[in-house]
């Protein structure tokens, strides 16, 4: 039974656990742990769904925030355009 799968849990060092295990999710220590992915920027393992580590997640959210701001500005300009056209009519 033991050794059917290999634990693919990524340690902070960037190396996988590699322990033989009976679950495809990982060894008895790591199978409950959320699967981690290497950071898209530096390759450090991270459990965040954004795929970025703690040091690079900030810029990810900053970009999203800026995009949202830009969308809001566009929405306001569209709104004011329709308002001014309704005033003209
Ligand atoms: Zn493991
Ligand atoms: Zn990173």
Res 5: pLDDT = 92
Res 20: pLDDT = 92
7 has a pLDDT exceeding 70: yes
Assign 84 a pLDDT band (cuts: 50, 70, 90): low
Tokens for 50, please give them: 């954004």
Neighbours of ion ligand 2 (CB under 5 A): 39, 41-42, 44, 53, 56
Helix (H, G, I), strand (E, B) or coil at 50: coil
Containing domain of residue 69, as a range?
A: 5-88
Task: Say how many Å lie between the CA of residue 60 and the centre of ligand 1.
Answer: 29
pTM: 0.39
- Number of the ligand closest to the Cα of 57: 2
- Number of the ligand closest to the Cα of 10: 1
Distance CA 48, CA 33 (A): 12
Q: Is 46 exposed, middle or buried (0-12, 13-18, 19+ CB in 10 A)?
A: buried
* Count of structural domains, the chain: 1
């Amino acid at each position: 039974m033991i050794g059917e799968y290999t634990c693919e849990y990524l340690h902070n060092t960037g190396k996988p656990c590699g322990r033989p295990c009976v679950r495809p999710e990982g060894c008895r220590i790591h199978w409950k742990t959320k699967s981690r992915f290497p950071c898209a920027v530096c390759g450090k393992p991270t459990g965040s769904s954004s795929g970025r580590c703690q040091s690079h997640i900030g810029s990810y959210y900053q970009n999203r925030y800026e995009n949202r701001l830009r969308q809001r500005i566009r929405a306001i300009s569209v709104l004011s355009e329709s308002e001014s056209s309704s005033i003209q009519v």
